Structure 1
Amino acid sequence: MAPQITGRVKPTKIKKQVRGQKRKRDDVDVEKLQEAVEQLDTKTKYESFNDLPLSEPTKAGLKSAAYSTLTDIQSKAIPLALKGSDILGAAKTGSGKTLAFLIPVLENLYRAQCTGPDAGLGAMIITPTRELAIQIFEVMRKVGGKGHLFAAGLVIGGKSLREEQDALTRMNIVVCTPGRILQHLSQTALFNVDNLRMLVLDEADRILDMGFQKDVDAIVDYLPTERQTMLFSATQTKRVSDLARLSLKEPEYVSVHEAAQSATPKTLQQNYVITPLPEKLDALWSFIQSAKKSKILVFLSSGKQVRFVYEAFRQMQPGIPLIHLHGRQKQTARLEITQKFSNAKYSCLFATDVVARGLDFPAVDWVVQVDCPEDADTYIHRVGRTARYERDGRAVIFLDPSEEEGMLTRLEQKKVPVEKINIRTNKKQSIKDQLQNMCFKDPQLKYLGQKAFASYVRSLHIQKDKEVFKLEKYPLEEFAASLGLPGAPRIKFLKADPEEIKRKKNASRQAAVSESEEEDDDEDEEADKTKNKKNGVRTKYDRMFERKNQDILADHYAKMVRHDDEKDDIDLNRLDGEQEADDDLFDVKRVIPADEGVPNFDISAKDAADAQAAGLKAVAIPGAKDPIILDSKRREKLLKSKKKLLKLKDKGSKIIYDDECNAHEIYELEDEADFRARGEAEAQRRKFLEEEAERVKMADISDKALAKEKKKAKREKKKERERAEAAGEDGVQLEGEEDGFENFKRDAAGLGYSDEEDSEVEEKPSKKQKKWFQEDGKRKDLHEEKEIETLGDLEAEAAKLLGS
C-alpha cells in the first residue's frame, strides 16, 4: 500500500496502539521487596520515605503528592506494619496518621499480588464519619494512582445500594463506615471477605465506644481471624475488652507523644472564656465581628442548634460567608459544604462533632467551642482541626461558670494547657433584641429556636460526666430568652422514675386496671365522637375538612404550644415516666397570656413601706395612685411597656371647656346641700317641667311669627316682579331669565341700605337689553354681515360692536 502523502516535510510516524495494562504483573520482583522488608530494623528512626523498602508505584505516588519526610508516627508505625504486626497507634492531631496506615496497606497487598476481582477483598478501612472516609479515599487515590492496579472503592451510603453491591464484588480495598459495610455483609450475597488480609480502624476510640459497639462486633464476626489489624487515633484506647473483641495478637503500641508535656500541638494557642449560658450567642456574634478576615470553625452540641444559629446569623449578615454542617444533611450537600469550606479563604462553619475527627481543613485560623465537649478526648479532637502539620492555630472554648471546675480538671488530666482570657466589654455586642424581633416576625425561626433549646437541654441531661454538666445549675429561663423565645419550652424526658416503676410493679391487678381505665378516658371521648357517623366510615369530605395547611408548620410544632389551662410550675429536673398517648418528647414549658402578664399591683402605702423595709424597690408612676413594688425581673420589664403600664394607672375623666376656658367635666354634680335648700326633689321637677313647657311655648310663637314674615316678603317680591313686567319698559328679557341687577338691589335693600345711598347709582332697566347679535327681538344672521376686507372696515365693525 502506498504511503499517504501529506503537507509535512518529514514523514509521519505510525502511532502504536495503546493497550490496557494487565491487572497482574509478572515482572515485579516481589521476593526482592520481601527480603528488604524482613531485613528492616524497626528500632531505627527513618527520616525519608526513600529509606524504606517501598515499591516503585508507591514512591512515584508519594513524589507526585509532595510527601518526602516521615513524621514521628509514620517513622515508627510503617516499619512495624510492613512486617505484618498488629498496631495500636496514638499521635497528636495533624501528625500524619493517614499515611501511617495507607502505605502499609498498599505495600502489603502489592507484595501479596492481591489485585483483580479473583483476589477478592484484601483490606478494609473503617472510619466513623462519611467525610473522613472520603478524605482517606482521596489520599489513597493520590498516593496509589501512579502505577498500582488495585480496585478501591468508597462505601459510605448516600447512593443506591444496588450500585454498591455490584462494585463490591470487584474491590480489593474498601473505605467504609460501620453501618453501611455491615448492611452489605448481611445482605450482599456475592460479597466475600474470606481473603481479607488487613483491617484498619481510623479514629478507633470513637468506633469502639458505645455508639458503634454493636456494629463493630457484628462486622468482626464476618471477618477471618487470621488478619493484620491496625488501630489509629489521637486518643487511643488500651482497654483489654476492646482488644479482645478485635482479636488482636500481641499488638505493638506506638505512641510518639506519650511523654510529651502536652496532648495537643505546641503551635496551638488554647484559651477559655467564662461565659454564662445566656451570653454565649452574644459572645459568638462579637467574636465573628472581630475576626471577619479569618477561617473559623464553630462547634455546637446538636444539629438543631447548628441550624438555628446559622439561620439567625445569616439574616443578621455578619459580613463573612456562613455555612453549616451536621449529620442530618444529605451526603451530596455534606460533601459540597466540606469542599466549599476547604477552598474558602475567609469563612465561618457551624458544625457538630461530625467534623471533629480526622478531617483536614486547610489553614483553619480559629476553632471556637460554644458548647462544652462531652469529655477531654472530644476537646482534643475538636481543637485538632487547626494547627495541623506544625502550623499555627488558635482555639477558644466558652465555659459556663458551673462547667469551669470540672472541665479544667479533665483537661489537666489529659495534659491540655488552657489559659483563661476575658472579653473586652466595649467590644461585646448584644443580639438578644434582634433575635426576639426575628423570632416574632418569623414563626419558622422561632420553631427552630424552640427545638434548639430542647435538644441542648436533652444533650445536657444525657451527659455521663455529672461533675461537669449539672443541669440544675444552668439558667435555662435566661438561655431561652437569649434565643429570642418568649418562654422556655418544657422538656419531658423518657426515662422513668425508679420509684414510680417499682410502685406500678408492686401494685395490685385491680389498681393497675383502674389506672389504665383513667388514662383511656380521653381516648374514649374521642371514640364517642365518631360513633354518630354511619358505620364509623370517614368519607372524602370528612378527610377534606380534617386536612391542615401544609405550608405553615408540622403537627409536632402544635404539640410544643401550651394551652392556657395548663400549669406553669414545671420542674425541668423531674424525670416524667408517665407518657400520654399524644405527647411528644418536647413541649413548651410556659406561655404567659396577655391578661396574666400584668400582675396585681394594688398595694397600699403600708405595704409599700413594708416592701421598702424588706429591701424591695418601689416605683411611683404618674397617674397611678399607689407605687409599684418591683419584686421580680418580670415586673422590671413591665415598666418598659407603655401599653401594660396603662392598665396600672387610674382611669382618666373626659373634660370640656367653657367660653372662659375653664375646664369642667361633662357631667358635674351640684352640691347636695344647695339642691335640698331649694325644696323637695319632686317639687323642683314639676317646676322645671313648667318652665321648660313655657319656654317651648314662647319659642314656638316666635318661630311662627318669623315664618309668617318670610311668606309675606315672598309675596311682595312676586307682586313687584309682576308690576315691572306690566310697565313695558325698554329692553327685551329672554324667557326664563331674571334681571340680576334688580335682584342685587333687592338683596341690598334687605340688608338695610337706604335709597339715598343708591341715588348715585344709575337706574338700570328691569329687563335685559338686546345683545349685539340681536335686532328687534330676532337673532342676526352673522353670515349676512359684510366681509371685512380693509382696515377701515375692521375699525367700523369694532365701533359698532362697542356701541352696541
Structure 2
Amino acid sequence: MLFENLNIIEPILKALKTEGYTSPTPIQEGAIPAILKGNDLEGCAQTGTGKTAAFAIPILQLLYSKQKALKGPRNIKALILAPTRELAIQIGESFTSYGKYTGLKNTVIFGGVSQRAQTNALRAGVDILIATPGRLLDLMHQKYISLEHIELAVLDEADRMLDMGLGHDVKKIIAKLPSSRQTMLFSATMPKEISKLIESILIKPVKIEVTPVSSTIDTIKQAVYFVEKRNKKSLLLHLLKDKSIESVLVFSKTKHGANKITGDLVKAGIEAEAIHGNKSQNARQRALTNFKEKKIRVLVATDIAARGIDIEKLSLVINFDLPDVPETYVHRIGRTGRARAEGIAISFCDREERDCLRSIEKTISKSISVIKEHPYLV
C-alpha cells in the first residue's frame, strides 16, 4: 500500500514525498479513507504508530478542497486538542510539513508563555488551530477565538487529557463546538471514562484499533538490568561509555531526580539537559531542540515527555526509574521504534521496583530479558 492508493491530492503527496514518506502505517491506512468520507472516528493506537498523520493528512485535504470557494477572512475550521505543550507543538510542525503546498495556515497555542505572538497569529487568520485546553479557554474568554466555524475537531491522546485532570475543560470546549462537526478521537488506551466520552461526542464512529491496548511495538528490543538503587548512576555512566550510542532519552520518576541525573552526567563530561514541568516552556523547547539537533547527547525527562514527542531515529530509551503505572512504560519506550524503525529500551530495576516490573510484564504480556553481564548486578 502506498499513499497514492489512498486518493490523497497532489499537493499533500508532494509534501509527503519531500518528507520521505511512501507507505502509510496501519492507523493511517485505516483512518485516512474513513475521515475523507466524512465519518467520525475512534482510533486506538499506541504511541509511535503515526496517529498525527492519520488525522492531519485528511483534515488538510478536506479543507483544501473547500478553501477556493471561501471568501473573506480566514476562520478557524479545524481544532486539534492536545494534552501537553510539547505534543501541540509537534502536531503543529506536522501540519506545517504536510500542508506546505496547500496554502492552509495553522497555529499552535499553549500556556506558559506570553500570549502576544499567539493572538497576533490568530488576528492574521488561521484555518487550523492546535491547542492545549487551558490556553484555548483563556483566549476564548478574552474573545480572541470563536469556535462557531469549526467543521473538524480532534481530541488527541484523550486518555492522557483525562489523566491530567483536563476532562472538565475538554467538555467545556466541546460544548462550544457546532453540532454538525466531524469529530475524531485518538487514545492509546480505552478506559471506561474514554468510552463514556466517545458515546457523548461521536456519532456512529468508525472504529480503528491497530494494536492491542497496552502492547509494545515488536521492533523495540526490551531489556532490564537488576541493580541497587545507589548504583544506578554508575550503571548509566558505564553504559554511556559506548560512543556508538549517539542519543539517549532517560526517564526519571521525579523532577528532582531528572535534575540530579542531568547534573551527574554533565559532571562526567556528557552533554545533557533536563525537561520537566518546573522548567519554563522556552527552556523545555530549547532542550528538546538541542536534543533533536544532536547538540546534546542525553535528554533526561519526566513523564511530561512520554507522549507525543517525535524524535527522529532515537535508538535508545532508558528507564532510570520504573514507572508506577504500567501503561506509562508503554508510552515511554514508544519514543523509540517509531514508524516501524528498530529501537532499544533499557530499564534499571532495584529491589523496591520488582513489583513494578512484574506489573509491566503482566500488562504487556511478555517477559523482559534480563541482562546479567554488567558490573553492578544485584
Aligned residue in 2 for 1:309: 261
- Counterpart contact for 1:263–1:416, Cα < 8 Å: no
Q: Does 1:139 align with 2:89?
A: no
**Aligned pairs (5 A) from 1:464-503:** none
Query: Which residue among 378, 387, 409 is the counterpart of 2:328?
Result: 378
* In the alignment, structure 1 residue 265 sits paired with structure 2 residue 220: no
Mapping 1:155-174, distance limit 5 Å = 155-169=109-123, 170-174=125-129
Q: 2:209 aligns with which of 246, 252, 255?
A: 255
- Kept in 1, the 8 Å contact 2:44–2:188? The answer is yes
What TM-score, normalized to structure 2? 0.90
RMSD between aligned residues: 2.5
Q: Establish whether residue 196 from structure 1 lines up as the match of residue 150 from structure 2.
A: yes
Q: What's the % identity of the aligned pairs?
A: 34
Alignment of 1:552-701 (within 5 A): none
Residues 199, 228 of structure 1: 8 Å contact kept:
yes
Inter-CA distance 322–254: structure 2 relative to 1 (3 Å threshold) = same
5+ unaligned residues in a row in structure 2: which ranges? none
Partner of 1:11: none
Deviation at 1:176, TM superposition (A): 1.4
2:163 counterpart SS class: coil
Q: What one-letter code is carried by the residue in structure 2 that aligns with 1:287? A: L
2: CA distance between counterparts of 1:345 and 1:162?
Answer: 30
- Paired residues, number: 374
2:272 to 317, 322, 325: 322
Cα distance in 2 for residues equivalent to 1:286 and 1:383: 21
Deviation at 1:293, TM superposition (A): 3.6
Q: In 1, distance between residues paired with 2:303 and 2:170?
A: 20
1:333 paired with 2:283, answer yes
Q: Secondary structure at the match of 2:49?
A: coil
- After TM superposition, the score normalised by the length of structure 1 is 0.44
Q: How does 1:91-110 map to 2 (within 5 A)?
A: 91-110=45-64
Q: Does the residue aligned with 1:405 lie in a helix, a strand or coil?
A: helix
Q: Is the 8 A contact 2:232 2:320 kept in 1?
A: yes
Task: Tell me what 2:75 maps to.
Answer: 120
Q: Which residue of 2 aligns with 1:593?
A: none
* Counterpart for residue 295 of structure 1: 247
- With over 3 angstroms needed to count, the CA separation of the structure-2 counterparts of 1:117 and 1:279, relative to structure 1, is farther
Counterparts in 2 of 1:360 and 1:376: CA distance versus 1, 3 Å: same
Q: Indicate the residue corresponding to 2:318 in structure 1.
A: 368
Equivalent-residue separation in structure 2 for 1:190 and 1:296 (angstroms): 40
Of 81, 90, 101, which aligns to 2:35? 81
Alignment partner of 2:183: what SS?
A: strand
Q: Which has the larger radius of gyration?
A: 1
Q: CA deviation at 1:256?
A: 1.6
Instruction: Identify the structure with the greater strand proportion.
Output: 2
Kindly indicate whether the alpha-carbon contact (under 8 Å) linking 1:295 and 1:345 is maintained by their aligned counterparts in 2: no
Task: Judge conservation of contact 1:127–1:133 (CA < 8 Å) in 2.
Answer: yes
Give the match's secondary structure for 2:274.
Answer: strand
Aligned to 1:525: none
SS of alignment partner, residue 94 of structure 1 = coil
CA distance in 2, matches of 1:416, 1:193: 45
Within 5 Å, give how 1:737-748 maps onto structure 2: none
1:270–1:417 contact (8 Å) kept in structure 2: no
1:274 aligns with 2:229: no
Counterparts of residues 232-243 of structure 1 (less than 5 Å): 232-237=186-191, 239-243=194-198
Contact 1:88–1:236, Cα closer than 8 Å, also in 2: no
Query: Could you list the per-position Cα deviations for residues 712-758 of structure 1 after superposition, in whole angstroms to 9, with x for gaps in the alignment?
Result: xxxxxxxxxxxxxxxxxxxxxxxxxxxxxxxxxxxxxxxxxxxxxxx
By how many angstroms is 1:159 displaced? 4.1
- The structure-2 alpha-carbon separation of the partners of 1:230 and 1:374, relative to structure 1 and needing over 3 Å to count, comes to farther
Residues 383-435 of structure 1: CA deviation (Å, up to 9, x unaligned): 0111222222111112232332354234323335422223523xx49xxxxxx
Distance 1:116 1:150, change over 3 A: farther
Structure 2 residue 298 is matched with structure 1 residue 348: yes
In structure 2, relative to structure 1, the CA distance for the partners of 1:393 and 1:240 (3 Å cut) is closer
Matches of 1:135 and 1:104, distance apart in 2: 17
Q: Distance in 1 between matches of 2:364 and 2:138?
A: 37
